Structure 1
Amino acid sequence: MAEINPFSLSGTQYSQHWPSLVSPDYWLNQGFILATGQPKSAWRWSPGATFLSTQRVVLTGVVAYLAMVFGGQIIMKKVAKPIRLKRITQAHNLILTLISGFLLLAFMEQCLPAWRDKGFFFTICGSESWTQSMEVLYYLNYLTKWLEFVDTVLLVLKKKKLEFLHYYHHSLTMVLCFEELLGRVSVAWIICSINLLVHVIMYYYYFLASCGKRVWWKEVVTTLQIVQFVVDLGLCYFCLYTHITFHAVVPLPSIGADCRGTRLAAYYGCVLLSSYLLLFVQFFIKTYIKGEKGGHLGFRAMNYDELKSKKVEKTE
């Protein structure tokens, strides 16, 4: 049980590594106690019993999401004006900014000490790196992918044209997070952490934009997403290769160690992230280099001439 004093310099939970006041693990534990009457350490991921933990539910969610996208667009064509839920949009973006930031810090609290004490390879491949505390974070991160479906609902109501990349990315990322939980893929902490960092920046941009603020760095977010997938793929292919060569019947160059996680989850992650990289690069070229006005992904082509003219007007 966690200590009562949130200002203490050390925790009594085995998974708490930071002072309670700034420890995500401490506050998560308090939240579990408040919501369930039990500490966080009592929670377990149980496929079929845990909320949203079956393949049928995931498949149903993807189908329902895509039906909302295409059905919603058909319905909104018959509506005269876009439905702009400004306050809800602002609240949604701010909430996801804060949640992403909190989960990012929570992953750092768990992974940085393991990296320091046992090395980087242990954190991405070690069989003992998948702990119950990490499983809680993976599950919470998975739940945020359902919450992010609201992004699309708001865009459909605004009668925005959606890029294929938008709904492809939203729907299959939720599936990816689910498969990582089932497959217990240790390297997932880096994929999640980088994604959360990008989402802190991205949803904060969305929040500012929904408040009517002109933000100059929206192109940077797309660039960060591309860098994210490059890093993710490098690590995922390394871990998959390490796992395959360790179990290969025919001797292959290997580091002589195994990587935790099922091959199905690893194959799915590598293929999906590869497609993300290709699609985001294509989107970047079309939007920022060619300057075409494509569908909505959250960013519009940056018109530098327009920005310069507006600066001139302000100075005059």
Structure 2
Amino acid sequence: MDLRVPVTIATVYATCVHIANKSRGPGTPPARFARTQLFKWLVIAHNLFLCLYSAWTCLGMSSSIVGTLIDSFRAQQRSSSGVWRGLCSVNEGIWARGLSYYGFLFYLSKFYEVLDTVIILAKGKRSSVLQTYHHAGAMLSMWAGIRFASPPIWIFVVFNSLIHTLMYLYYTLTGLNIRAPKAVKRALTTAQICQFVFGGSLAFAHLFVYYFDPSISGYTSCLTNSGQTFALFFILLYLAPLTYLFVGFWIESYVLGKPKGKAVEKEKAVKSVE
């Protein structure tokens, strides 16, 4: 959890992608290995693994949240404070009952997901600004949320793992030459944008939450220290440009109708989210 780890990896990643992009353009052939059957099946295995891992994370976190909320709700005589205590308390809420575990693994998965970019580059394509920004920013954002145990991080773990389950399932099927209608692709991109807007808004609302804490016999803020607040604002600042880039991609792909080759290349650059 040393800050130098995500900063170094994100910087090296972005720099390498920038250098690799210079040698790629329209007509750039795939690497020799990328034209083999082994490469194809490795890509399928990669997408399937991330699909299953994301589903496991989503189900595990959902189970932890439901169990925690039910217990907290009953413990505080079915009041709304019990719900918020379950979502906000680091010692007795979802952080202690699963978020610290699933969240940390989810943070580590952001480093593995750079293989998405490696695959794109191996195919002779460029990594878009959206692709590079997303992966580099996700490393730093998840680091901040887990390092400072910021309560709203549960939103991003649950929502993003759900979207990733659907996205990587779609790309697994695509790798198996099972084609989905364009409406499915449009729906997935729309779902990604919705998770940023809704998730970011819900996370921001945590700033104004105060709940009754029996351990101190008084009300306390959901965000109890400057580290938790910093992590929240860092993630929100990361989401703003990411949402803008995704909306731009949605308009270019489904409204303006860019040339097929360029649209397909850019579409593959958004196969993962944060």
Alignment of 1:97 with 2:51, yes or no, is yes
Shift of 1:97: 0.4
Report what 2:21 is aligned to.
Answer: 73
- CA–CA distance in structure 2, aligned partners of residues 278 and 240 of structure 1: 23
Q: What TM-score do the two structures reach when normalised by structure 2?
A: 0.79
* Relative contact order, higher structure (CA 8 A, sep 6+): 2
- Equivalent residue runs for 1:44-193 within 5 Å: 53-75=1-23, 81-83=29-31, 84=34, 85-118=39-72, 119-127=82-90, 128-129=92-93, 130-131=95-96, 133-193=98-158
Cα distance, 1:154–1:289 mapped onto 2, change above 3 Å:
same
Shift of 1:147: 0.9
Q: Residues 69 and 87 of structure 2 are in contact (CA less than 8 Å); yes or no, is this contact kept in structure 1?
A: no
- CA–CA distance in structure 2, aligned partners of residues 147 and 297 of structure 1: 20
- Equivalent residue runs for 1:273-292 within 5 Å: 273-292=239-258
- CA–CA distance in structure 1, aligned partners of residues 121 and 115 of structure 2: 10
Cα distance, 1:123–1:200 mapped onto 2, change above 3 Å:
same
Report what 1:14 is aligned to.
Answer: none
Larger Cα Rg: Structure 1 or Structure 2?
Answer: 1
Shift of 1:296: 2.1
- CA–CA distance in structure 2, aligned partners of residues 151 and 179 of structure 1: 23
CA deviations 1:188-221 (Å, max 9, x no partner) are 1121111000000000111111122211211111
Q: Residues 198 and 224 of structure 1 are in contact (CA less than 8 Å); yes or no, is this contact kept in structure 2?
A: yes
- CA–CA distance in structure 2, aligned partners of residues 232 and 274 of structure 1: 12
- CA–CA distance in structure 1, aligned partners of residues 85 and 164 of structure 2: 26
Shift of 1:288: 0.9
SS in 2 for 1:186: coil
Q: Residues 89 and 151 of structure 2 are in contact (CA less than 8 Å); yes or no, is this contact kept in structure 1?
A: yes
Q: Residues 90 and 211 of structure 1 are in contact (CA less than 8 Å); yes or no, is this contact kept in structure 2?
A: yes
Q: Which runs of 5+ in 1 are unaligned?
A: 1-52, 244-255, 301-316
- CA–CA distance in structure 2, aligned partners of residues 165 and 126 of structure 1: 34
Percent of pairs with identical residues = 29
Shift of 1:132: 6.2
CA deviations 1:267-310 (Å, max 9, x no partner) are 1012112222222112111111111244524279xxxxxxxxxx
Shift of 1:258: 0.6
Report what 2:231 is aligned to.
Answer: 265
List 4+ stretches of structure 1 deviating above 6 A: none
The CA RMSD measured in Å over matched residues stands at 2.2
Q: Residues 219 and 299 of structure 1 are in contact (CA less than 8 Å); yes or no, is this contact kept in structure 2?
A: no
CA deviations 1:82-106 (Å, max 9, x no partner) are 0322111111000000111111111
Q: What TM-score do the two structures reach when normalised by structure 1?
A: 0.69
Q: How many residues align?
A: 235
Q: Which runs of 5+ in 2 are unaligned?
A: 73-81, 211-218
- CA–CA distance in structure 2, aligned partners of residues 120 and 190 of structure 1: 15
